[in-house]
Amino acid sequence: MTKRVFISADHGLAIVYFLQSDVLPTLLDAGLEVVLLTDDGLREQISQRFGRPGLTVEGLRFPQARQYFERNDHTLQYWLHFLRWMGGSQRINTNAMDGHLRQMDYESSAKAKRLMPLIRGLTWGLRRSRWMRQGLVRAQMRFTPDLYGDLLDQYQPSLVVASTPGWRLDRYLLRQAGQRGVRTAAAIIGWDNPSSYRLPGARVDYATCWSEIQKRELVLGSDWAPERVHVGGIPTYDGYFRKEWVIPREEYFRMHGLDPQRKLISYACSFVTFSPNFRNMETLARLVSADALAQPSQLLIRLHPNHFMPGSLYEQEAQRVRQMIQSMPHVHLVEPVALGGELGYYSGEDMPEKASMMAHSDVFTTVYSTMVVETAIHDRPIVSVCLDTPGGWNTPGKFSLALTEIAEWPTHQRFREAQAGRVAFDEGQLRAALDAYLRDPQLDGAERRKFVQDEVTYTDGSAGKRTGAALAKLALEA
């Protein structure tokens, strides 16, 4: 009987990781059938675009999963989720989680605030006690609804793979699969995921991650057994290494109305949940428009997916940016393309756009975003711009965290310590960093290349095949 693998693609980046890399072809070439579970509303669209023999697309049943979360001991499920998020071992850097804990303390309701001393006490214990962490993972298993029983019966998978170890609604699929004795695995898709989330939302058997750094975070921070964590690189970036997505410079400049005679400085918005990006963009736009840099330049701004959340502060910021650039001929805007449905703006729909923006930038700027890794792959100079906005969001009830306070977050710390780019905390430092790179694009080149090697492991475009082969082995041996 042909063996089958379930893949949970509950996020736009998961579509790129599994379907726009060598992971899926490697699984199929191993003689496995693949059942992709994704947003119900996109099943037909994904089938048409990625369909091939051996691939079936089914729905992830987001509405039913969300309804179960909201209607079945919602308060208890909510706090279990929060404790998993905050309660990873202190054996690794907890600064990112500490920032989220401060946000929760500030933004929670009056009733929740009364619970926060208890939550902080439990978090303190979880970070110090493996026994408590294991107990928390076991306790959450009582919330295992029968959402996928018919699919598990119909397809009888040998392996269920999710794009997180149950950190999102995929926890219900992983729990039900584990309850039935089906082998489970998690693919770590995000650079900061192992340091920002921590304890699994289900008892997951195996994980595959980018690097030995991430493996250490999983083992020390989340109690994974080392022999159950595979280092396979990051399949999503194989296309970068193979230069599959880069649009020729002349064509790309023409697409955005860019001046081929001016240097290109790009800015990818990041970290908007905690702090505005507007001052960063405004300062860059002013320096470019005033020709205040070492060479005549232009600015291309890429909005963040959160900028498209209806009615949010982030949406308001995006509108301010659109208004600002109307009178600035050397400032241009890129808006990420949505895959649709609940998969959001983190999608592979504009990988050529992203790749080309990085490849053709004379200097790439952001706020410690994952794109510092992606841009280092393209060997372009990088500046992390951390100009604080006085008062942050200046909105009652909305937590703000100064950009100057986030340097010690795990991935941010690694970028700085690798000296793969510069960090600017004020306009003078920003101008100096931009001028240095405009004068010498090879500055810090050796450090960028080592940073890439350390963070993604495989730089030859083989991560998809390596990861697919590891997952195929788990399925075939089950």
The 10s digit of each residue's pLDDT in 428-450 is 999 999 999 999 999 999 999 99
What CATH number does the domain containing 30 carry? 3.40.50.2000
Whether 438 and 131 have beta carbons less than 8 Å apart is answered as no
When pLDDT is cut at 50, 70 and 90, the band that residue 350 belongs to is confident
DSSP string for residues in 334-399 = E-PPP--GGGTT-SSTTHHHHHHHHHH-SEEEESS-THHHHHHHTT--EEEE--PPTTTT--TT--
- Which residues span the domain enclosing 249? 245-455
The CA distance from 276 to 182, in Å, is: 44
Q: Based on the domain organization, do 467 and 437 belong to the same domain?
A: no
Tell me what pLDDT residue 7 has: 98
Number of structural domains, the chain? 2
Q: Based on the domain organization, do 169 and 296 belong to the same domain?
A: no
Q: Based on the domain organization, do 450 and 465 belong to the same domain?
A: no
60 CB-near residues (< 8 Å, 6+ apart):
8, 9, 10, 37, 38, 39, 40, 169, 170, 173
pLDDT higher than 90, residue 347:
no
Q: Based on the domain organization, do 192 and 255 belong to the same domain?
A: no
Q: Based on the domain organization, do 282 and 135 belong to the same domain?
A: no
Q: Based on the domain organization, do 227 and 255 belong to the same domain?
A: no
The CA distance from 417 to 141, in Å, is: 40
Q: Based on the domain organization, do 344 and 417 belong to the same domain?
A: yes
Label residue 153 exposed, middle or buried (CB < 10 Å: 0-12, 13-18, 19+): exposed
Q: How far is CA 253 from the centre of its chain?
A: 27
Q: Based on the domain organization, do 293 and 217 belong to the same domain?
A: no
Model's pTM, two decimal places? 0.95
The CA distance from 173 to 35, in Å, is: 13
Tell me what pLDDT residue 341 has: 75
Q: What is the mean pLDDT of the chain?
A: 96
Give buried/exposed letters for 454-465 (b at 16+ CB in 10 A, else e): bbbbbbebbbbb
Q: Based on the domain organization, do 308 and 295 belong to the same domain?
A: yes
Tell me what pLDDT residue 360 has: 98
Three-state SS at 332: strand
The CA distance from 203 to 200, in Å, is: 7
Mean pLDDT of 251-262: 98
Mean pLDDT of 306-315: 94
When pLDDT is cut at 50, 70 and 90, the band that residue 349 belongs to is low
Three-state SS at 279: helix
Give buried/exposed letters for 403-433 (b at 16+ CB in 10 A, else e): beebbebbbbbbbbebebbbbbbebebbbeb
Tell me what pLDDT residue 336 has: 86
Q: Based on the domain organization, do 272 and 367 belong to the same domain?
A: yes
Mean pLDDT of 226-237: 98
Q: Based on the domain organization, do 438 and 470 belong to the same domain?
A: no
pLDDT higher than 90, residue 107:
yes
Helix, strand and coil in the chain, % to nearest 5: 50, 10, 35
When pLDDT is cut at 50, 70 and 90, the band that residue 348 belongs to is low
Within 10 Å of residue 183's Cβ, how many Cβ atoms?
A: 19
Q: Based on the domain organization, do 451 and 472 belong to the same domain?
A: no
